[in-house]
Amino acid sequence: MENDDQDPSLPSFCTRIFLVEDNPDHVFIALTVMRQVLGDEIEMIHAQSAEEALELIPRFTESDRPDLFFIDLRLPENGGFSVLSAIRNNEICAPVPLFVITSSLYDRDIAHSYELGASAVLSKPLSRARLREELARVGALSPLEEPNPSATYRH
């Protein structure tokens, strides 16, 4: 079957997600929830540290940049804030929806995340309902969209 004959109800692309998270358990939870909300048709790029993320961000091009960013705010040495700033200061990555994931209850951290350009701040553990709601709010998911199967994970 050629591309022109594909079923129009199936997605012609996968959602590229860039996740910056240093805790393997939180990576597993985030990936599980994202698959439940977005379907298995995702490609995840995972950075385990702020340093790794800061090396990858300038390498993205218009054609291969992620569709969504998810950043753990509480990386060592306030690394989440530096990653957030680097994404928003990168011309290619700046327009992409960026979600901060945090266990922090400090209003100052949440406010600072929004000041630096976060699309939303999500609390850990990640919730399907809240993720779906925020993705729909920023236009990354239609409110009635259902997930489709098939995933790729890159580290």
pLDDT tens digits for range 56-101: 999 999 999 999 999 999 999 889 999 999 999 999 999 999 999 9
96 part of a folded domain: yes
Q: What does pTM read for this prediction?
A: 0.83
Q: Give residue 14's pLDDT band: very low, low, confident or very high (50, 70, 90).
A: confident
Q: What is the DSSP letter of 152?
A: E
111 part of a folded domain: yes
5 part of a folded domain: no
DSSP-assigned beta bridge partners for residue 46: 19
Calculate helix-pair angle for 79-88, 107-115, nearest 10 degrees: 20
User: Which residue has better confidence, 1 or 30?
Assistant: 30
Strands 120-123, 15-20: pairing kind? unpaired
What is residue 8's predicted lDDT score, i.e. its pLDDT? 44
27 part of a folded domain: yes
29 part of a folded domain: yes
146 part of a folded domain: no
DSSP-assigned beta bridge partners for residue 102: 123
Q: Give residue 13's pLDDT band: very low, low, confident or very high (50, 70, 90).
A: low
Q: For residue 21, give its domain range.
A: 12-137
Specify the CATH number for the domain of residue 78: 3.40.50.2300
Residue 138 has pLDDT above 70, yes or no: yes
Write down the H helix ranges in the chain. Answer: 24-38, 50-56, 79-88, 107-115, 128-137
Tally of domains in the chain: 1
Pick the closest to residue 98 from 69, 61, 75 (CA basis): 69
7 part of a folded domain: no
155 part of a folded domain: no
What is residue 143's predicted lDDT score, i.e. its pLDDT? 64
**How much of the chain exceeds pLDDT 90, in percent?**
71
